[in-house]
Amino acid sequence: MKKIAIIGGSKGIGNAILLQQLDHNFVYNISRTKPDISHPNLVHFSVDILKDVLPEIENIDSLIYCPGSINLKPILSLSIEDFREDFEINVIGAVKVIQKYLPSLKRGKNPSIILFSTVAAKLGMPFHASIATAKSGIEGLVKSLGAELAPIIRINAIAPTITETSLSASILRNERMKENMMERHPMKKYLKVEEVAQMADYLISEKAGSISGQVFQMDYGLVTFRL
């Protein structure tokens, strides 16, 4: 049984990962709100990642940082504070938890870290300047720490396309918008949280023991294909 620390496991992708892991692993969830579930394998810490002191956890096998933002505005509508806030929740928060739990990870079994990027870091998309900038920082962090932490700790990132969560509710708010979004993707789908959770499950498993410093596009062909 692994010991997994999930940052932001109460909602969206983080919650899907948490629910997938509970039956087989022990999960520490660290987020402002408590997940809407109780389980003998779950311990929750109510924490504001950017403001509060992180809880002490002795041993961790996998660390998964899920907090993110979708701040889509034209560049002239984005304030410097918008850029700062997006960078803080996506990058500074990830750095804070990695620095905190690195000693615990080093004591873990086959330890690994998962962070989250976005397809907008690879594919130029209007109104994504702030979030693409922040997530590009995540991709650089993964590459650098992949080298620095080898061979003890693996670190990878998942870069999803639009995923059906509360964060994307305004973009997928009706059937017509959902259909338009599917049409934008060559494989005529967009992501469900369970699909991303399955990728996370693979990346923390021993099956992915040879993989570190990588960013995995989950995009239904959006970045690579031109049909």
**pLDDT average, residue stretch 9-33:** 96
Q: Record the tokens describing residue 194, joined without a space.
A: 């369970």
Can you give the pLDDT at residue 226? 80
Can you give the pLDDT at residue 181? 81
Residue 30 has pLDDT above 90, yes or no: yes
Can you give the pLDDT at residue 120? 93
Tens-place pLDDT, residues 1-10: 999 999 999 9
User: Which residues constitute the domain of residue 154?
Assistant: 3-163+192-218
Give which of 85, 118, 135, 113 is closest to 6, Cα–Cα. Answer: 113
Asked whether residue 117 is assigned to any structural domain, the reply reads yes
Asked whether residue 225 is assigned to any structural domain, the reply reads no
Helical axes 193-203 vs 12-21, angle rounded to 10°: 60
Asked whether residue 63 is assigned to any structural domain, the reply reads yes
Alpha-helix residue ranges (DSSP H) falling in 107-192:
129-149, 175-184
Mean pLDDT, the chain, whole residue set? 94
Can you give the pLDDT at residue 174? 85
Buried b (16+ CB within 10 A) or exposed e, 157-192: bbbbbbbbbeebeeebeeeeeeeebeeebeeeebbe
Q: What is the DSSP letter of 91?
A: I
Tell me the residue type at 111: P
Tens-place pLDDT, residues 98-142: 999 999 999 999 999 999 999 999 999 999 999 999 999 999 999
Can you give the pLDDT at residue 3? 98
Tens-place pLDDT, residues 45-101: 999 999 999 999 999 999 999 998 888 999 999 999 999 999 999 999 999 999 999
The CATH number for 42's domain is 3.40.50.720
Asked whether residue 47 is assigned to any structural domain, the reply reads yes
Asked whether residue 209 is assigned to any structural domain, the reply reads yes
Asked whether residue 184 is assigned to any structural domain, the reply reads no
Asked whether residue 104 is assigned to any structural domain, the reply reads yes
Can you give the pLDDT at residue 190? 83
Asked whether residue 181 is assigned to any structural domain, the reply reads no
Tens-place pLDDT, residues 157-200: 999 998 887 777 677 778 888 888 888 888 888 889 999 999 99
Count structural domains, the chain.
Answer: 1
